[in-house]
Amino acid sequence: MTTEQIRRSGPLRWTGTGKLVSFYRYFAFNAPKTTTAGGMALLAATAVAQMFLLIRHSAAPAYVVVWFLLMIIGSLLAAFAMSVGSVPALTRSGWALGSAVSLASIAMYFVSRAVGLPGLPQMLGHWHYPLGNVTLAIGLFFLGLHFSVVTGMNVAYPKTRGWHD
């Protein structure tokens, strides 16, 4: 497959508006199952981290407990949807849900540290909490991986380019 064919067959067509995207669109990785497995592993790590936070902070206000439960359920649903490779729409929705969970996790991290949360004044300015930093990093990694899929650097959707692991 030539570079021009890769560029034309990508999920999004870029017209040279971004230097980074126009540069790395010439690199394409032929590993859709590996890319999807990596995304699923990041979502599973998010769910495990949120479970640990839920167990550790079980005395937190009810809305925080609900938040942790929603993050856990969302992560696991997204990972499951990504695993259904025979239904491309479900796989895409799994990636989208995973990005939404990651964005929500990142936003809650920054809001809880910068502004504070009702009932949790101890979180204000607590930037050095290791598990919070791990969940932040996992969310950023997932968003980066999904960005590489959307822009065409990695292939994760079945039958997008006819590539198979």
Tens digits of residue pLDDT in 61-97: 899 899 999 999 999 999 999 988 778 888 889 999 9
Give the chain's mean pLDDT. 80
Residue 81 lies in a domain: yes
Domain residue limits at 93: 44-147
How many domains would you assign to the chain?
A: 1
- The pTM (predicted TM-score) of the whole model is 0.78
Q: Does 37 have pLDDT greater than 80?
A: yes
Residue 68 lies in a domain: yes
Burial 18-41 (b: 16+ CB within 10 A, else e): eeebeeebeebeebbeebbbbbbe
Residue 30 lies in a domain: no
Residue written as tokens 């025979």? Answer: 86
Where would I find the H helices in 3-129?
Answer: 3-9, 19-24, 32-56, 62-83, 88-114
Section 99-112 average pLDDT: 94
Residue 19 lies in a domain: no
Per residue in 141-150, pLDDT (tens digit) is 999 999 888 8
